[in-house]
């Protein structure tokens, strides 16, 4: 960092660095903690409390990841982790007297947060205590300009409220089963996902994290692409990633989830519009069980038939390892209004 070093001298030269280079601006740099793994999301208040120690701040920002937790732990787990983190941060705000303005990183696909112009109200109802929602490219460029402007206006005029109340003990117990089941299914899907992900067009260059489930975790023996090509690959195959791991849910679990997070049912229904029900047989048995469980939880009749035809062609090409499939993936993404 160069912030705060304007008056520093080097060696025997009595002139400060500012005399050589001019004014250093800003004079200080404040870090925004980014929390993205299960351990620290469940203890977000402890992490931020430690950061606040010895500082006199009136406010601060904390970034809650949404895509990486979904990739590592599954769709429902990512929702629960974010809600627990936000409730803990709200309690810390009252305790410390420091305004904590949470930021959440959300994409348009439900798996990564489900923020699109038409779903702004739903996302605000799920994360009412969040101050800032990231706006990603699908929101801006895959919808009519007027719809985008209206969505942005709603976000800008939203007043931060208390977070959703969540039974943390029950959420934590549910996480254990959901995460284990999701990761078991993803290990079976990894070869297929990786084969299709190579054809997903790159929208941005990102340096990989190392050590998380999705990024070359050697202990699991599985390497996956980042969240966007992961979602794009599965949607292009007719398998919404939101359904992976849902076989771990009991009826009681689902009743509690629906009561706690009312938006989940409609969000899952949005995802399942792109499920190719006739393409289930080619999937691993564990994944088929989760698909059937998802179908028992949400009744979706309005499926996208044009998207389904494209996914069948993608599967045919993937099985033959012949013709390129990038154009097919892009066509399917255009119908969904997001790549991944």
Split at pLDDT 50, 70, 90, the class of 215 is very low
Range scoring the smallest mean pLDDT among 8-12, 73-77, 191-195, 324-328 = 8-12
pLDDT in tens, 115-131: 999 999 999 999 999 99
Residue 64 corresponds to which tokens in the numbers above? 């809650």
Helical H segments across 97-198, by residue range: 120-126, 137-141, 145-157, 168-197
| pLDDT for 203 beyond 80 | no
3 state SS of 61? strand
How far apart CA 74 and CA 151 sit, in angstroms, is 27
Split at pLDDT 50, 70, 90, the class of 3 is confident
How far apart CA 159 and CA 157 sit, in angstroms, is 6
CA atoms within 13 A on the CB side of 79: 24
**Residue 77 CA: distances (Å) to CA of 24, 162, 276, 324:** 44, 21, 24, 34
pLDDT in tens, 23-33: 888 878 888 99
pLDDT at res. 221: 63
**Buried/exposed code over 39-54 (b: 16+ C-beta within 10 A; e: otherwise):** ebbbebbebbbeeeee
Which helix (DSSP H) or strand (DSSP E) does residue 130 occupy? Answer: strand 130-133
How far apart CA 108 and CA 340 sit, in angstroms, is 8
User: CA nearest 68: which of 235, 219, 251, 208?
Assistant: 208
Helical H segments across 212-284, by residue range: 227-236, 251-260, 263-272
Ranges of each domain in the chain = 1-30, 31-157, 190-336
3 state SS of 65? coil
Q: Could you tell me the end-to-end alpha-carbon distance of the chain, in angstroms, rounded to an integer?
A: 35
Average pLDDT in the 4-20 region?
A: 83
């Amino acid at each position: 960092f160069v912030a705060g070093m304007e008056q520093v001298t080097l060696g025997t030269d009595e002139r400060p660095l500012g005399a050589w280079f001019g004014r250093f601006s800003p004079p200080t740099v404040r870090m925004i903690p980014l929390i993205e793994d299960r351990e620290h999301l469940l203890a977000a208040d402890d992490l931020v409390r430690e950061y606040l120690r010895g500082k006199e701040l009136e406010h601060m920002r904390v970034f809650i990841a949404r895509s990486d937790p979904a990739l590592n732990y599954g769709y429902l787990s990512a929702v629960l982790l974010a809600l627990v983190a936000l409730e803990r941060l709200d309690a810390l705000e009252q305790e410390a007297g420091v305004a904590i303005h949470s930021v959440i990183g959300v994409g348009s696909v439900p798996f990564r947060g489900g923020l699109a112009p038409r779903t702004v109200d739903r996302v605000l109802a799920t994360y009412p205590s969040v101050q800032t929602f990231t706006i990603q490219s699908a929101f801006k460029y895959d919808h009519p300009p007027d719809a985008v402007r209206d969505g942005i206006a709603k976000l800008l005029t939203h007043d931060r409220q208390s977070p959703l109340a969540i039974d943390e003990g029950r959420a934590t117990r549910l996480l254990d089963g959901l995460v284990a089941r999701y990761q078991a299914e993803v290990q079976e899907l990894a070869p297929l996902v990786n084969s299709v992900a190579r054809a997903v067009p790159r929208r941005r260059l990102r340096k990989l994290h190392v050590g998380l489930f999705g990024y070359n975790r050697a202990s699991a023996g599985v390497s996956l692409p980042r969240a966007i090509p992961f979602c794009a690959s599965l949607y292009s195959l007719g398998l919404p990633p939101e359904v992976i791991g849902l076989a771990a849910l009991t009826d009681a679990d689902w009743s509690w989830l629906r009561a706690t997070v009312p938006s989940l049912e409609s969000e899952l229904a949005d995802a399942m519009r792109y499920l190719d029900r006739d393409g289930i047989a080619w999937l691993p048995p564990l994944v088929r069980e989760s698909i059937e469980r998802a179908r028992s939880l949400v009744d979706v009749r309005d499926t996208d038939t044009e998207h389904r035809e494209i996914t069948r062609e993608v599967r045919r090409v993937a099985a033959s390892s012949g013709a390129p499939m990038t154009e097919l993936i892009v066509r399917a993404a255009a119908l969904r209004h997001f790549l991944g």
